[in-house]
Structure 1
């Protein structure tokens, strides 16, 4: 296998242009992924609050399974990049099959858990019997989405790890229009189709994800079908190989799952704030998620290239040159995100004309934090993704888990429940969390051990 990265690592290595080539399709894909949920909410809003509550409750439960799938798919992306850098077809086949089987297993477990346990939980959480019934119907159909994503995200992560980030984007360019059109038709009964309401939104998503996954499967078979003829497994047999993949993936997945749970726990504390403060923190969350994809995907693309270079045993001086270029690009990406928040905060009257003036004032007051935090967040992410690419996954996990559960979560509880501080200081905890992570990340990276890592095992 000789089709390596676009630049010659033996000379100067890849640069910011190579990172950008990987990052922009990943950024668009992430925006499509998160934007689909927003679109479904807009399409269901004419049906009233009960329909929205049913979808919100169902997606909150189904989203747990999807979150775990996405967490393990990120680990598979890094493992694939290592295998691609090593240039060993047995390693590449092992990464694809092990990651795919693991992802599908998580999807099956998630679907079984939903079908066995979600009924009583939905009945307890739903505000009415009508909402509970609609949420259970949505979840039953949403099981197809979970299984489709379990297969599809594994393939998409494999493409990303091989440096072919445009291929997953093509799948979303197909699925998003299909999702919108079928959801509109099935929710409202257009073009002779039945009006299914909430079930129509789930059906539209299921059809779109099924089509997207089938498309990716065809692409994988055409481009990497030769791996079926490769004999053997990376660790001798399939059992040890998948255990090795699981051991590599668990710390990465735990990092992402911990972040999700910590965010939800903090959101529960936010509910105890005054209404305007709670609304402001709720409104800023999706902006953070969407705008932050620009710098997040840049740092993930950096991690992919670092994993490939380490797998290729690239000289330390070449790794240093590449990382300095990628780091400069990360600061540019952070500046772009900061500019987005600057424009957003000065356009609050246009974006949210119906909000109370006090809520808009709180949102505008967040601006200093939103401008500053992008830079330490980006440089910490560069460190984290670089260390993960070198296999230092447990150390990265500890940094995230301890900063969340030993600092941000208890500090949020104290600020909200005991000190009753304004929303500005509560949001500032995200900035202080990045400050706390800064020396742990940068000290580990500057030691330089990651440059000599052996990722071939």
Structure 2
């Protein structure tokens, strides 16, 4: 489970351009597979909860994205730990590789527990702002309060993921994720429906299944990581390998970007809820499918985070720039391939989650739009991740917030409830948003100002 000492005997030189795609693919495949496990887990949850009815599915959708809003505030821990570990590796500072992890775990505990208390208390109010039906409010509120109990666990897992991916050992991340996600599916099946003599908890069972699986995942990560990390400065209290301030400087902008993105999704659900409860259930399915579709771009982008940071640490900025463009092309091809079923046979795909002909028919056109939008978004996803590897976290924050809150959400409200439009009208705004998002990140990447940022 741990690395042998020989694997840490010398720094890893950044790969030559001719080998860059191979490096990206081999590093990205475990990340992509691990994230596929995450999205498949969410899809399986939707399959289970969907059998309880459209109200339960809509309530879980709202609760899940409010929970996403809470956990988004600690997502920057992963990318910041990964960027710092990869930069130290490129510099050959192997005795300080785990120092960012130690500081990341400290942040996970302090910030995670604070967020748990805050969102547990605010859960009824937040849910009431999103849903008008009392029963759906009750279901969503209970689901959210259970899920936020695991925020510190999510944060710790983010820190571990950043450490292993920064070292180029993404297979550790994959192995751990698959194990505890498999447990999650089993626990959810048992607790939602009451199998093997356990009580049938319904929607609450899905929340408890996820939270208990997260606890197991954190313990599993710790068992694989603590021993080798102790030899690499895990408990270092000084600034070797990067100070806590350095970690916060990288983590806060990315966490804020993810928070505003998550809050944007929650706001989008509020907008859709003004149209109808059925539309909320359909949107929950569409978002989960979209998250599954973008996995190749996110996985490859996370791989480029490591390679870009290593290249900059070794003083090769032009090589880092070439990595970004090569990875974009690969991501677009993969996303286009994966999106074909949603584009060509949307009724068949939606039929797994929605159990009335009216709901399926309503979701066909938005799903087709989703399949096109995610391919366009490949450029933005990959280059945003690469910019995080370069330390340009503030730039990513500014672009993401301005486009989402200045364009996507106002137009979605206007074309939806504002003008009496449908779910399709709201979803059409996604196409414009994805195009502009990718164009802006492509321009930033090509200009190359990120090459001079110190991490």
In terms of mean alpha carbon deviation, does 303-312 or 117-126 score higher? 117-126
In the alignment of these two chains, the number of paired residues is: 447
Once the two structures are superposed, what CA deviation does each residue of 1:352-390 show, in whole Å capped at 9, x if it has no partner?
7854469527624763x4454344311222332222222
Q: Which moved more, 1:353-362 or 1:57-66?
A: 353-362
Structure 2 Cα separation of the partners of residues 279 and 47 of structure 1: 12
Equivalences for residues 374-453 of structure 1 within 5 A:
374-421=374-421, 423-453=423-453
Alpha-carbon distance in 1 for matches of 2:307, 2:328? 13
Query: Match of 2:5?
Result: none
In the aligned structure 2, how far is the partner of 1:436 from the partner of 1:105?
A: 37
**Structure 2 length as normaliser, TM-score?**
0.83
Corresponding residue of 2:310 = 308
The CA distance in 1 between the partners of 2:181 and 2:288, in whole Å, is 19
- 2:254 is the counterpart of 1:252: yes
- Deviation, 1:117, is 4.1
Distance 1:232 1:86, change over 3 A: farther
1:338 maps onto 2:339 in alignment: yes
Do residues 217 (structure 1) and 218 (structure 2) align? no
Relative distance call for 1:230 and 1:39 in structure 2 (3 A) is: closer
Asked if structure 1 preserves the Cα contact closer than 8 Å seen for 2:293 and 2:335, the reply is no
Cα pair 1:76 1:99 within 8 Å, conserved: yes
Distance 1:378 1:451, change over 3 A: same
Taking a change above 3 Å as real, the CA distance of residues 267 and 242 of structure 1, as seen in their structure-2 partners, is same
Given candidates 20, 23, 26, the residue that maps to 2:28 is 23
Aligned to 1:227: 232
Which structure has the larger Rg over C-alpha atoms? 1
In structure 1, the residue matched to 2:4 is none
Specify whether residues 408 and 161 from structure 1 end up closer, same or farther in structure 2 by C-alpha distance, changes over 3 A only: same
CA distance in 1, matches of 2:417, 2:31: 39
* More deviation, 257-266/89-98: 89-98
Task: Report the alpha carbon displacement of residue 139 of structure 1 after superposing the two structures with TM.
Answer: 5.6
Q: Which residue of 1 aligns with 2:364?
A: 363
Q: Contact conserved, 1:248 with 1:393, CA < 8 A, in 2?
A: yes
Match of 1:204 in 2: 209
For the structure 1 residues 402 and 49, does the alpha-carbon distance in structure 2 shift closer, same or farther, using more than 3 Å as the test?
Answer: closer
- Contact 2:14-2:307 at 8 Å conserved across structures: no
Tell me, what secondary structure is at the counterpart of 2:98?
Answer: helix
Q: Which residue of 1 aligns with 2:166?
A: 161
**Match among 34, 38, 48 for residue 33 of structure 1:** 38
Structure 1 portions without partners, runs of 5+: none
- Residue equivalent to 1:266: 268
Classify 1:42/1:126 alpha carbon distance in 2 versus 1 (closer, same or farther; 3 Å): farther
TM-score, length basis structure 1: 0.83
**Equivalent-residue separation in structure 2 for 1:168 and 1:438 (angstroms):** 28
Partner of 1:328: 329
CA distance in structure 1 between the partners assigned to 2:287 and 2:386 by the alignment: 26
Higher mean displacement: 103-112 or 417-426: 417-426
* CA 91–40 in structure 1, closer or farther in 2 if over 3 Å, else same: same
Answer yes or no: is the 8 Å Cα contact 1:85–1:312 preserved in 2.
yes
C-alpha distance in structure 2 between counterparts of 1:176 and 1:66, whole Å: 18
Residue correspondence of structure 1 range 181-196 to structure 2 within 5 A: 181-193=186-198
Where do residues 171-186 of structure 1 align in structure 2 (5 Å cutoff)?
Answer: 171-186=176-191
Query: CA 1:425 to 1:115, structure 2 compared with 1: closer, same or farther past 3 Å?
Result: closer
Offset, 1:222? 3.4
Match of 2:296 in 1: 294
Q: Is the partner of 2:230 in helix, strand or coil?
A: helix
The 1-side partners of 2:187 and 2:68 are apart by 21
SS of structure 2 residue aligned to 1:454: coil
After TM superposition, the structure 1 stretch with the greater mean CA deviation from structure 2, 51-60 or 164-173, is: 51-60
For residues 92-111 of structure 1, the aligned pairs below 5 Å read 92-111=97-116
Question: Would you say the 8 A contact 2:188–2:210 is kept in 1?
Answer: yes
2:113 aligned counterpart, secondary structure: helix
Q: How far did 1:141 drift? A: 5.0
Supply the distance in 1 between the matched residues of 2:95 and 2:322 (Cα, whole angstroms).
Answer: 30
Cα distance, 1:420 vs structure 2 = 3.9
Alpha-carbon distance in structure 1 between the residues aligned to 2:428 and 2:61: 28
Partner Cα separation in structure 2 for residue 122 and residue 10 of structure 1? 49
Deviation at 1:434, TM superposition (A): 3.0
